[in-house]
């Protein structure tokens, strides 16, 4: 039976590239998505065309029943879960002074509650020797104006990581977060001018925008044999954007 990986938010962006990389690494992969079925099916088709094994499962990570279904359907399809990557996330920007509580609640629900729910199911179902990988952001260190809800959600994610690692003592399951810097996806690019994109891309000493492949390489390391001794860490993959 092939090892299996669930990747949330894998219809687009970083998650899609992570799914393709883990499929190449030999995992049967579950492409989770929120609403974009066409993109998710396209990702499945790309993986199958490269002789990989993939299925798509719709689930809102903020919804406890959806998350339970995601794990139940994965076990039904593949019989086991070895790696869980909670990559799904949103980044609406709003200044704290505006007091936009809808934006705050939606961001916390998707990014923090979603991570909590996926971690919880992962802790219940993941096989011995498994890996749980969640997503923070290197923007935490920058405290940019308008990033309040997003930074609050990701700070919460970073808090959960070592707690779950401690709760899983003795199970040989690792829990880590990857915290990318600016990466060329819809989440980063949408709503920014070319000048803003150029300026943010130059902030890292490596002076370029991260690509989804840069982040997929790091997830592949944490999910694979060479990552076995890394536990309870926040791995900042950002070209030095710190
Ligand atoms: P994208 O906006 O490109 O893709 C987001 C993905 O998440 C889509 O597949 C989307 O599905 C899915 N998604 C959104 N909401 C939900 C939900 N409620 N339930 C399930 N899936 C959902 O984002 P990125 O690839 O850029 O971001 C991936 C992760 O990396 C996020 O956690 C983000 O915070 C983090 N990150 C990104 C950075 C960047 O610069 N890009 C920098 C630092 C961190 P659908 O297609 O169905 O809408």
For the chain, domain boundaries: 4-182+211-235
33 is catalytic: no
Instruction: Report whether pLDDT(1) > 90.
Output: no
Tokens in use for 135?
A: 């997503």
Which ligand 1 atom lies nearest to the CA of residue 39? 46
CA of 91 to the centre of ligand 1 (A): 8
CB neighbour list of residue 152: distance below 8 Å, 6 or more residues apart: 104, 107, 108, 112
pTM above 0.85, yes or no: yes
pLDDT band with cut points at 50, 70 and 90 for residue 176: very high
SS3 assignment, position 240: coil
Residues forming a β-bridge with 57: 32
Q: Among 2.170.120.12, 1.20.1600.10, 3.40.50.720, 3.20.20.80, what is the CATH number of 4-182+211-235? A: 3.40.50.720
Instruction: Report whether pLDDT(108) > 90.
Output: yes
Which residue, by CA, sits nearest to atom 23 of ligand 1?
A: 187
CB neighbour list of residue 199: distance below 8 Å, 6 or more residues apart: none
In the 8-state DSSP scheme, what is residue 126?
P
- Round to whole Å and give the CA distance between 34 and 168: 28
Report the pocket of ligand 1 as residue ranges, CB < 6 Å: 8-15, 32-36, 39, 60-62, 87-91, 110, 114, 135, 137, 180, 182-183, 185-188
């Amino acid at each position: 039976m092939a090892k299996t990986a669930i990747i949330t938010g894998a219809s687009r962006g970083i998650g899609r590239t992570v799914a393709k990389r883990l499929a190449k690494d030999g995992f049967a992969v579950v492409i989770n998505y929120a609403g974009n079925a066409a993109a998710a099916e396209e990702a499945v088709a790309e993986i199958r065309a490269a002789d990989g094994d993939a299925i798509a499962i719709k689930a809102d990570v903020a919804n406890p029943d959806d998350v339970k279904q995601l794990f139940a359907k994965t076990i039904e399809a593949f019989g086991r879960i070895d790696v869980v990557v909670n990559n799904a996330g949103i980044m609406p920007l709003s200044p704290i002074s505006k007091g936009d509580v809808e934006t705050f609640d939606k961001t916390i629900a998707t990014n923090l509650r979603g991570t909590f729910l996926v971690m919880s199911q992962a802790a219940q179902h993941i096989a011995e020797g498994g890996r749980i990988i969640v997503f923070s952001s290197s923007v935490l260190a920058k405290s940019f104006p308008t990033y309040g809800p997003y930074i609050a959600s990701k700070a919460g994610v970073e808090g959960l990581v070592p707690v779950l690692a401690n709760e899983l003592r003795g199970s040989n399951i690792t829990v880590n977060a990857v915290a990318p810097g600016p990466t060329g996806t819809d989440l980063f690019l949408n709503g920014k001018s070319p000048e803003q994109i150029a300026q943010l891309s130059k902030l890292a000493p490596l002076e370029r925008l991260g690509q989804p492949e840069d982040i997929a390489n790091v997830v592949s390391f944490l999910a694979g044999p060479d990552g076995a001794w890394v536990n309870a860490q926040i791995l900042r993959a950002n070209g030095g954007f710190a």
